[in-house]
Structure 1
Amino acid sequence: MSGDNVKFLVEAVVVLGCIVMGTRAGGVGVGLWGGLGTAVLVFVFREPPGEPPAAALAIILAVVTTAALMQAAGGIDWMVAMAARVIEKRPHQITLIAPLTAFVFSIGAGTSNIIYPLLPVIYDVSYRNHIRPARPLTVTVVQSGMALAASPVSAAMAAMLTLTDVAPYNLGLTQILAITLPACVIGIVVTSLVVNRMWLDLDDDPEVAAKIASGELAAPEAVAVTAPPTGAVAPTTSDTGEAPPASSALTYTAAGRNSALAFFAGVLVIVLLGLFPDLRPAFDVDGESVAIDMTTTIVMVMFTVGVAILFLGRPKVAEVPDQSVFKAGMISAIALFGIAWLTATFIAAHEEQILNTIGEWVTDWTFLFALAVFLVAALTTSQSTATRTIVPIGLAAGLSPGLVTGMWAGALSGVYTLPANGTQIAAANFDHSGTTKLGSKLLDHSFFVPMLIMSVVTVAVGAAIGAIVA
C-alpha cells in the first residue's frame, strides 16, 4: 500500500472518528468535533483547510431569525390551528391526510418542529374514530425527516443549494424542488396506504381493550382531550357528554396569522425568483451580465420578510432567542459549520483517491450513495449534517446532481432509525392508547417500518425523477 493510500485511510479514520464522537456529544458537539477534526487535518497532516460553508450559514441565520420572529408573533400557532382543521375535516382518511398536511406546513415553516402541537390533535381524531393512532402518528413523524428536502427555507436545503447551485452542476432551487416534491409526496402516499393495513385495528387490539376495561383508558366515544403545548386552555366536555375536538384548544391571534402569511409570501417569492432568474438583479461581471445567486436572494428576501413581521406581528424582539425554532436553528448552524468544514478539507485533499475508489463503488452500486446518506442521518440525527457530509462525495464521485438530489431526499428519513428524536418521544407520549411504541431493542419501535418504506419508495422515485430532470 502506497504512502498516499495510508495517509488517505488514516485521515478517513480521523474524519469518521470525529463524526462518531460528535454524534455521541450531540447538538453543538457535532460542530465542535468537526472543528477539531479540521484542526487535526491541517496541523497534523498539513492539509490545506477547505472552504467553510459561509453561504449555507448565511441562509440558515437569515431564515432562522425570520422564522423565530414569526413564532414569537404567534405565526406557528396559526399554522398549527389551520393544519388541525384540515385534519379534522376527513377523520377516516387521517392516516393519509395528517402526514400530507404536516408535510405542507413543514415545507412552509422550514422546520419539523411544527408537528409537535399537531400530535395530540392527530391522536384525538384517530382514536375518536376507532383508528389505531400509531398509523397516522408514525407516518406524520417520519415524513418530517424528508420534508425539509422539499422546503426552500430549511437548513438542509441551504446546505444542498451551496453544493449543487454552482458550476459545473448548476442545479438550482426549482430543479431540486421539481425532484424532491413529487418524490416525497409519492413516498408519503405509498407509506400511508401500507401503514394503514399494518398492525391490529384499534377495536381488535387486546391491549387497548384491557386498558378500557380497567378504566385506565376512556372509550373512543368519550376520550378526553390533551391540549397541545400552545399555551391555550384545554376545552371542557360539552353538554352532550362528548369532549370537543382537539383543535378547539388551539388559539391564535390576527398578528400571528399575518406573520405566518408574510412568511409564506416570502417562501413563494423565493421560489419564483429561483424559477425565473431574469427577475433577479443582474450585474456586469467581466463583460457578462450575471444575476445574483440564490444564496444572496434568499438572505435578502428573508430579512425583508423579517422586517415586515416586525410591523405586522409586533413580536417582542427580546424573546426571539428563546424561541424553539431559533435554538434548533443555531444548533444546526454550529453543527453544520464544523462538520462541513471537516469534510470539505478532507475531500479537497483527496479528490483523486475519492474518484478512483469511492467513485467506482458508487458507479457500480449507485444506491450505496443513498445508504451512506441514510446512515449518516441515522447517526447524527441531522439532515443538514448528512447533506454536507455525503453529498459532496457523491458529486465528486461522478453521480449526476439530479440523481444525487433524488436519492438524498428519501435517505434523510434515516434520522428516525433510532427512537431518540423528540418528535418520536412526543408521539409515543401523546398516544394514551399505547399503540405507538418506542420499543426496547433500538429497532423494534413503531416508526422503524414506516421509515424504511418511506425511505425506499422516495429514494427510488427520486432517483427516477432526478435522472430525467437533470
Structure 2
Amino acid sequence: MLWLQLATVLVFIFIGARLGGIGIGYAGGAGVIVLALSGMETSMAFIPVEVILIIMSVIATIAAMQRAGGLDYLVHLSERMLRKHPQYITFAAPIVTYFMTLLAGTGHTAFSTLPVIAEVAKEQGIRPSKPLSIAVVASQVAITASPISAAVVAFAAMLQPMGVSYLQLLLIAIPSTFVAVMIGAIIANLLGKPLLEDSVYQERLKEGLIKQRERYEYKPTSNAKFSVYAFVISIILVVTYAILLSGTIENPTIGRSEAIMSIMLATAGVIATKCKLNVNEITQMPTFRAGMCACICVLGVAWLGSTFVNGHIDDIKNLSGALLASYPWMLALVLFFASMLLYSQGATTAALMPAALAMGVAPVAAIASFAAVSALFVLPTYPTLLAAIEMDDTGSTRIGRYVFDHPFLLPGIVTISASVMIAFVIGNIVIS
C-alpha cells in the first residue's frame, strides 16, 4: 500500500501542477480524499495551520501597505538603486529582489521590480535574461532567510525542541543564501550571447516589438512613506521579540507565531487608520489575492503530503533513515525535487521537514538543506518566472525547445547548491 499511496500523492501533485495556481491546493484536497478511501487516517493535525495563518497575517499587512502606495515607494527606491550603477544590473537586481523578499516574507514583491530590471538592462545593452533570471531566483531563495516568512517560522518551531534558536537559524540562513545569490549572479552573467548578437532580439527589433518603458517623475505620498516605515518597524518588533524569546523571556504570555500574527494584523490596522484606507479595497490588491492563493495551495498540498508521511513514518524511517544519517546532504536533494512540485517553500517545509528531523537528521544538516525548498524555478510555470519572461520584450528571457532549457535553471541550481555548502560551514560554527 505504501507504493500505491505514494503514487496517489504524486499523481495528484502532478494534476495540481498542470492546473497551476490555486489548482495545486484543489488537487491536494482531492488527493486527501483518495488516501482516506484507501484506508489512511486523515486529521486536522496534519494541516499546517500555523503556516497558513502567518501567511494570511503578513499578506494582509503587505496588501494594506500596497493600497497606501508603499510598494510603489519601494519600487521607486529600488529603481534609484538600479539606475545608480546600471552597468552592474546583473548583481544589483538580485540584491534588490533578495532584500525586498527578506523584508516582506513573500517573493511576490519581485513582480513590481521586474519591469525596471528589464528596462535598465536594455538601456545598457545587457541581455535582460541575465539580471532577470537571478533576480527571480533571489526572490525565491530569500524566503528561507526572511524573519517573517511562513517557512522560516515553521522551521524555527521544529528546531526549537532540538536546542536551536530562531536567532541561530537566521544567523545561518541569511549570510549563506545572500552569498549564494551573488555566486549565482556570477553564473547568470556568463550565460547567453550578447544582446546585439541574439537573433530573436534582432528579429523583434526589426518588427518594432521592442518598446521603451515610459518613465515618469514619481513623488511618494506621505501615506506611502508611512506604510513602509510602519511595516519595517513591525518586522523589527517581530525579530526583536523572537530573539528575546530565545533566552531572555521566560514563560511568555504570547508565543513567537502568535506575536508575528498579532503584530502584523495590528500594523495593518494602523496603516489603514492613519492612511484612511477603504479596507474593502485592500482585499482587491494583487498581493492579497496572491497570498490567499498561496494559503489554499499550502492547505491542500501540505495536508496531502503530511497525511502520507504520518501514515508511513515508520516505513519511511526504515527506508531512508540510515541513508540520510550517512549522507545528510541528500536531504537537500529530496527537498529540491519536492519543492519543484509543491510550488511552495512553506508547504515543502511543513510536509517534509518534520519527517526528516524525526528520522534523526542533525539540525545543522536540516538547516543547511533548507534553501533547497526554493527550487520553484525548475519548472517554467511559476508566476514570477513567467512574469519575467513576459516583461522582457527582447525575447532573451525565453523557454527553450526542451522546456527545462531556460535561463533560470543553471543560476538557480548553482545558488541553491552554494547555499547548502556555505550553510554547512556556517552551521557548524554557529551550532557547536
Give yes or no for TM over 0.5.
Answer: yes
Distance 1:195 1:466 in 2: 27
Task: Give 1:253's match in structure 2, choosing from 201, 207, 221.
Answer: 221
Whether 2:177 is the aligned partner of 1:184: answer: yes
Q: Deviations over 1:106-129 (max 9, x none)?
A: 111222222222122212222222
Whether 2:10 is the aligned partner of 1:16: answer: yes
Call closer, same or farther: CA 1:216–1:290 in 2, change over 3 Å.
closer
Whether 2:31 is the aligned partner of 1:31: answer: no
Distance 1:24 1:207 in 2: 28
Whether 2:287 is the aligned partner of 1:304: answer: no
Task: Give 1:84's match in structure 2, choosing from 79, 82, 87.
Answer: 79
Q: Show the counterpart of 1:405.
A: 367
Distance 1:140 1:66 in 2: 24
SS in structure 2 of the partner of residue 343 of structure 1: helix
Q: Show the counterpart of 2:59.
A: 64
Q: Show the counterpart of 2:68.
A: 73
CA deviation after TM superposition for structure 1 residue 40, in Å: 4.1
- Could you tell me which amino acid in structure 1 is paired with residue 298 of structure 2? L
Gaps of 5+ in 1: 1-6, 219-223, 227-233, 236-247, 283-288
The farther-off stretch of 194-203 and 138-147 is 194-203
The farther-off stretch of 392-401 and 273-282 is 273-282
Counterpart contact for 2:57–2:261, Cα < 8 Å? yes
SS in structure 2 of the partner of residue 200 of structure 1: coil
Question: Aligned pairs, how many?
Answer: 430
Q: Show the counterpart of 1:154.
A: 149
Q: Deviations over 1:172-199 (max 9, x none)?
A: 4322211211111111111112222222
- Could you tell me which amino acid in structure 2 is paired with residue 331 of structure 1? C
Counterpart contact for 1:95–1:135, Cα < 8 Å? yes
Call closer, same or farther: CA 1:339–1:171 in 2, change over 3 Å.
farther
- Could you tell me which amino acid in structure 1 is paired with residue 227 of structure 2? S
Distance 1:144 1:132 in 2: 20
Q: Show the counterpart of 1:113.
A: 108
CA deviation after TM superposition for structure 1 residue 279, in Å: 9.2
Call closer, same or farther: CA 1:395–1:252 in 2, change over 3 Å.
same
Task: Give 1:139's match in structure 2, choosing from 112, 116, 134.
Answer: 134
Task: Give 2:350's match in structure 1, choosing from 359, 377, 388.
Answer: 388
- Could you tell me which amino acid in structure 2 is paired with residue 45 of structure 1? G
Q: Show the counterpart of 1:202.
A: 195
Distance 1:88 1:159 in 2: 37
Question: What percent of counterpart residues are identical?
Answer: 29
Counterpart contact for 1:62–1:302, Cα < 8 Å? yes
Gaps of 5+ in 2: none
Note the 1:211-250 alignment, pairs <5 A: 212=205, 214=206, 216=208, 225-226=212-213, 234-235=214-215, 248=216
Whether 2:241 is the aligned partner of 1:273: answer: yes
Distance 1:159 1:196 in 2: 34
CA deviation after TM superposition for structure 1 residue 83, in Å: 0.9
Counterpart contact for 2:29–2:304, Cα < 8 Å? yes
Distance 2:311 2:163 in 1: 23
Whether 2:305 is the aligned partner of 1:343: answer: yes
Q: Show the counterpart of 1:377.
A: 339
Q: Show the counterpart of 1:441.
A: 402
Task: Give 2:99's match in structure 1, choosing from 80, 98, 104.
Answer: 104
Distance 2:252 2:49 in 1: 21
Q: Deviations over 1:143-177 (max 9, x none)?
A: 11111111122233344344334x2x243432221
Call closer, same or farther: CA 1:456–1:152 in 2, change over 3 Å.
same
CA deviation after TM superposition for structure 1 residue 371, in Å: 1.5
Distance 2:341 2:310 in 1: 24
Distance 2:53 2:248 in 1: 18
Counterpart contact for 1:179–1:466, Cα < 8 Å? yes
Distance 1:132 1:119 in 2: 14
Distance 1:424 1:342 in 2: 26
CA deviation after TM superposition for structure 1 residue 72, in Å: 1.3
Distance 2:419 2:246 in 1: 32
SS in structure 1 of the partner of residue 283 of structure 2: helix
Whether 2:164 is the aligned partner of 1:171: answer: yes
- Could you tell me which amino acid in structure 2 is paired with residue 11 of structure 1? Q
Q: Show the counterpart of 1:241.
A: none
Q: Show the counterpart of 1:460.
A: 421
The farther-off stretch of 116-125 and 201-210 is 201-210
CA deviation after TM superposition for structure 1 residue 390, in Å: 2.2
Counterpart contact for 2:65–2:71, Cα < 8 Å? yes
- Could you tell me which amino acid in structure 1 is paired with residue 407 of structure 2? S
Call closer, same or farther: CA 1:292–1:172 in 2, change over 3 Å.
farther
Root-mean-square deviation (CA, aligned residues, Å) is: 2.5
CA deviation after TM superposition for structure 1 residue 281, in Å: 6.5
Call closer, same or farther: CA 1:425–1:26 in 2, change over 3 Å.
closer
The farther-off stretch of 199-208 and 143-152 is 199-208
Counterpart contact for 1:332–1:384, Cα < 8 Å? no
- Could you tell me which amino acid in structure 2 is paired with residue 456 of structure 1? S
Call closer, same or farther: CA 1:48–1:448 in 2, change over 3 Å.
closer
Q: Deviations over 1:233-273 (max 9, x none)?
A: x33xxxxxxxxxxxx46554220121111111111111111
Call closer, same or farther: CA 1:278–1:204 in 2, change over 3 Å.
closer
Counterpart contact for 1:281–1:291, Cα < 8 Å? no
SS in structure 2 of the partner of residue 86 of structure 1: helix
Counterpart contact for 1:106–1:151, Cα < 8 Å? yes
Counterpart contact for 1:47–1:349, Cα < 8 Å? yes
Counterpart contact for 2:51–2:346, Cα < 8 Å? no
